[in-house]
Structure 1
Amino acid sequence: MGQLIKQLWQRYQSVLSYLIFGGLTTLINIIVFGIFNQFWPYWIANTIAWLISVLFAYITNKIWVFDSQTPTFRAVLIEMTSFFGFRLLSYFIDQGIMIVGISVLHGNDLIVKLIDQIIVVLLNWFFSKLFIFKDRGH
């Protein structure tokens, strides 16, 4: 049984790690949003939540999800630019979902945020896997 679990982990390590750290990133995003949404408009709270969670996501994705080895400062800059660029794209999608869900459809802020995060996590995984950390062999 232990050998089977080890084989499954090795085979799906990238996806499983992303689910774990993506879940933690989502949790951070939702908690930060919930805190700041009490004091500021949802779109400002969402932006702050995005900033904090994206910093967490970059570090965890680089180290534990995609095992990214960037041997030069230039390589790190290219990877970071790509990561934050794609996350900026998903931020605009995130904000769009929040605006439509809350301001147009008058949905509950936290329920819209939860639905939004499911979509954003999936998009970010594809961006990371296909474009950002693509040379990592996972």
Structure 2
Amino acid sequence: MIEKLRLLYRKYEEIIVYLIVGVLTTIVAWTAKFAANAVLFGNTMHPDHFQNGVLSIINWVAGVIFAYFTNRRFVFKSEKPMAKEAPKFVLSRVSTLILDVVVMQIFTVLNVNLVVGSVVSAVLVTIANYVFSKLFVFNRK
């Protein structure tokens, strides 16, 4: 049984480690987001459009900084120069920032709770981030 688990891990190592790093990135980003919500907006659970935008940007910045270094080292094990990868990484994350802002704005219009909206958005953003990282940023040509 343990040997089967090892084989499965080796086969799917990149995806497994990506998901672990993704969970850690989400924890870092959400900690920044919810701390900012508490400090800036009195811990509202139904932020307005402006507040959602501010919180999404804070969430994004914290997540991108943490994700770049952890994805580079632990997931994709890249040895390329950072100067080549970092701009691509930031560009790919800008596109998923837009996705996050759009999703959160839609949920604001629908009056969906901040936590529920954040979870749905995180799932969509995580999938998009993996695809961009795998195909565009850390690809091994």
Distance 1:67 1:23 in 2: 18
Task: Show the counterpart of 2:45.
Answer: none
Q: CA deviation at 1:20?
A: 0.3
Q: Which runs of 5+ in 1 are unaligned?
A: none
Sequence identity, in percent?
29
Aligned-pair RMSD on alpha carbons?
1.4
Residue 89 of structure 2 is aligned with which of 83, 98, 120?
Answer: 83
Shift of residue 109, structure 1, vs aligned partner: 1.2
Instruction: Specify every segment of 5 or more residues in structure 2 that has no aligned partner in the other structure, as ranges.
Output: 42-50
Q: Which residue among 108, 125, 128 is the counterpart of 1:123?
A: 128
Q: How high is the TM-score relative to the length of structure 1?
A: 0.88
Q: Which runs of 4+ in 1 moved over 6 A?
A: none
Give me the whole-angstrom Cα distance separating, in 1, the residues matched to 2:57 and 2:130.
Answer: 20
Q: How far 1:110 sits from its partner (Å)?
A: 1.5
- Aligned residue pairs: how many? 131
Tell me the secondary structure at the aligned position of residue 37 of structure 1. Answer: helix
Aligned 8 A contact 2:96 2:125 in 1: yes
Structure-1 separation of matches of 2:137 and 2:78: 10
CA distance in 2, matches of 1:105, 1:78: 40
Q: Which residue does 1:67 correspond to in 2?
A: 77
Q: Distance in 2 between matches of 1:107 and 1:37?
A: 16
Q: Which residue of structure 1 aligns with residue 19 of structure 2?
A: 19
- The alpha-carbon deviation at position 31 of structure 1 amounts to 2.2
User: Quick check: 1:30–1:114 contact (8 Å CA) kept in 2?
Assistant: no
Q: Match of 1:28, as an amino acid?
A: V
Alpha-carbon distance in 2 for matches of 1:92, 1:22:
18
Contact 2:100 2:125 in 1 (8 A): yes
Q: Secondary structure at the match of 1:134?
A: coil
